Amino acid sequence: MSVLAADTDAAVAGVTDGATVLVGGFGTAGQPMELIDALIRTGAGDLTIVSNNAGNGDHGLAALLAAGRVRKVICSFPRQSDSYVFDALYRAGKVELEVVPQGNLAERIRAAGAGIGAFFTPTGVGTPLAEGKEVRQIDGRDYVLEYPIRGDLALVKAHRADTLGNLVYRKTARNFGPVMATAATTTVVQVDSVVEAGQIDPEVVVTPGIFVDRVVVCPVTTPLAARGAAG
Amino acid sequence: MSRGMNIERLDRGPLTRTELAQQIAADIPPGSYVNLGIGQPTTVADHLSPDRGVVLHTENGMLGMGPAAQGDDIDPDLVNAGKVPVTETLGAAYFHHADSFAMMRGGHLDVCVLGAFQVSASGDLANWHTGEPDAIPAVGGAMDLAIGAKQVFVMMTLFDKSGRPKLVPVCTYPLTGVGCVSRVYTDVATFDLTPDGVVVTATFGTSVDDLRSRLDVPLLTG
């Protein structure tokens, strides 16, 4: 049974109002722009978005925010030189923000995908981001209790998939993709290209297809250097 | 006070930003795994010659990060923690975010260099949020780096634009980490934060006595 979707609209079909959506990417590197555009077209709103950042410029996550579809953002670093869409919504009180240390964000998502109920981490101990959370001393060091973050939907960008959904990524565009792919009810991946099963060396598969529900091809249409100039 | 006199460099002014970066680079042990955060600390990389064998880690999933990319080498899939396009060195490795932060939290990084709003005498760090009502909080990987790296170096000016010390008895800004800073490099002096207290290891264009009059922190001289 192939995981291939006909297009991005088919790939994201079924998302509902109030869904929690894990969105890969670090800035624009690895941000699944075409899948986010399709998410906007579904009309789904009241979304909770889990991503490292809160949008850059006017595209991708920023466009989703500008369309008024997001109730809450859970991220590590919303404020950037080009995060003006989020900044304005936040200052107008139109979007909630939960700031999570980046490693806790990754590990909370990983925990959800790995069936971990909660975990103690030293990150954030003694800071405002640990306020109200249980702290336990283990072997003389303080740790704070953090809970998993699970998604109804994960949108991930990878480099290449095979027809079974096995994935490889490209350079630092990998970032949150492999952990997010494990942590959602439905994981949708956009890739530059798809190959037949067996055409990706099993030793280099990063995300095994068991974590992937749908794959859609969004070919790279501009040279990499030109994409960089727009980023 | 004779030992104190030996560390005073009164024949010159404060360190320039470049000299400060050089100073820190010179103190990074050969072969170290190092994270340089974002912003000014990343300039330390310009002074780490390849023969030192220092491997740079970037939080967004790479070991073996090279210099900033230029021209045709710019690749939007290859950026550093500040989203600046970079290059890879021979032997580079990519990995996902959970692994990247396991490298920090698990104590695998030898050194990280971070900027700061304030550092306390006991090594508390405040570098992510001014706490002002209009400020949008953004922590990124700072809290993970601060508590994870074996040694945390801070790179900052010793005084803010209003002349207030940034090395303080107790941080007034929201904390990034508790008791995590081991060394503070500033334009006018460098400090080791030890269990015995704050030790001045060098001054530039100022004296230890002058610093004592301007800081609310007791200063030792080794």
Whichever domain contains B19, its CATH number is 3.40.1080.10
Instruction: Please give the structure tokens belonging to residue A226.
Output: 């030109």
Containing domain of residue B45, as a range? Answer: 2-68+75-220
State the average pLDDT over residues B177-183. 98
Residue B88 is among the residues annotated as catalytic for this protein: no
Q: Which residues of B touch A78 (CB under 8 A)?
A: 136-138
pLDDT at res. A222: 55
Q: Is the minimum CB–CB distance between A143 and chain B shorter than 8 Å?
A: no
CB A85 within 8 A of CB A60: no
Percentage, residues of chain B above pLDDT 70? 98
Q: Is the minimum CB–CB distance between A106 and chain B shorter than 8 Å?
A: yes
ipTM entry: 0.95
Q: Which residues of B touch A133 (CB under 8 A)?
A: none
pLDDT over threshold 80, residue B51: yes
Which of A61, A102, A107, A167 to probe by mutation at the B interface, max B CB count within 10 Å? A102
Nearest C-alpha of chain B: how many angstroms from A103?
5
Predicted structure pTM score: 0.95
Q: Read off the pLDDT of residues B150-168 as tens digits, 9 standing for 90 and up.
A: 999 999 999 999 999 999 9
User: pLDDT category, B2, cuts 50, 70, 90?
Assistant: very low
Q: Read off the pLDDT of residues B93-114 as tens digits, 9 standing for 90 and up.
A: 999 999 999 999 999 999 999 9
Q: Is the minimum CB–CB distance between B147 and chain A shorter than 8 Å?
A: yes
Q: Which domains does chain A have, with CATH numbers?
A: 18-99+153-217 (3.40.1080.10)
Q: Is the minimum CB–CB distance between A103 and chain B shorter than 8 Å?
A: yes
Output the tens digit of pLDDT for each of chain A's 231 residues: 579 999 999 999 999 999 999 999 999 999 999 999 999 999 999 999 999 999 999 999 999 999 999 999 999 999 888 999 999 999 999 999 999 999 999 999 999 999 999 999 999 999 999 999 999 999 999 999 999 999 999 999 999 999 999 999 999 999 999 999 999 999 999 999 999 999 999 999 999 999 999 999 998 865 554 444 433
Q: Is the minimum CB–CB distance between A204 and chain B shorter than 8 Å?
A: no
Domain count, chain B: 1
DSSP H or E run through A32 = none
Which of A89, A116, A123 to probe by mutation at the B interface, max B CB count within 10 Å? A123
pLDDT at res. B167: 98
